[in-house]
Homo-oligomer: A and B are copies of this chain.
Amino acid sequence: MTSTALLTDQYELTMVSAALAAGTADRRCVFEVFARRLPDGRRYGVVAGTGRLLDELENFRFGPAEIDALRGVVDEPTLEWLRSYRFGGEIDGYAEGELYFPGSPILTVRGGFAEAVVLETLALSILNHDSAVASAGARMVSAAAGRPIIEMGSRRTHERAAVAAARAAYLSGLTATSNLEAARTYGVPSAGTAAHAWTLAFTGPGGSDERAAFAAQVAKHGPETTLLVDTYDITTGVRNAIEVAGPGLNAVRIDSGDLGVLARQVRQQLDDLGATGTKIVVSGDLDEYAIASLRAEPVDLYGVGTSLVTGSGAPTAGMVYKLVEVDGLPVAKRSSHKESHGGAKRAVRAARDTGTVVEEILYRDGAAVPESAAGSLNLRELQIPLVRGGDRVDGVPTLTEARSHLARGLVTLPWEGLGLSHGDPAIGTRYVNQPEAS
Binding site for B on A (CB under 8 A): 2, 4, 6-15, 17-19, 21-22, 24, 27, 29, 31, 56, 66, 69-70, 73, 113, 117, 120-122, 124-126, 128-129, 152, 154-165, 178-181, 183-184, 190-198, 200-205, 207-208, 216-217, 219-221, 230-234, 256-257, 306, 309-311, 315-316, 318, 321-323, 326-327, 329, 331-338, 438
Contacts and interface: CB of A to CB of B under 8 A. Distances in A.
B201 A19 contact: yes
A154 to B, nearest CB: 5
A199 to B, nearest CB: 9
Contacts of A121: 154-155, 159
Contacts of A117: 195, 197
B129 A161 contact: yes
A180 B124 contact: no
Contacts of A181: 6-8
Contact of A155 (B24, B125, B202, B219): B125
A226 to B, nearest CB: 9
A4 B159 contact: yes
Contacts of A18: 194, 198, 216-217, 219-221
Contact of A180 (B70, B125, B129, B178): B70
Contacts of A128: 155-157
Given A128-B157, A208-B331, A329-B203, A310 B316 contact: yes
Contacts of A208: 331, 438
16 contacts: A7-B163, A8-B181, A9-B152, A9-B154, A11-B194, A12-B195, A22-B219, A27-B201, A120-B197, A121-B159, A125-B154, A125-B158, A129-B158, A200-B332, A201-B326, A201-B331
Nearest to A217: B18
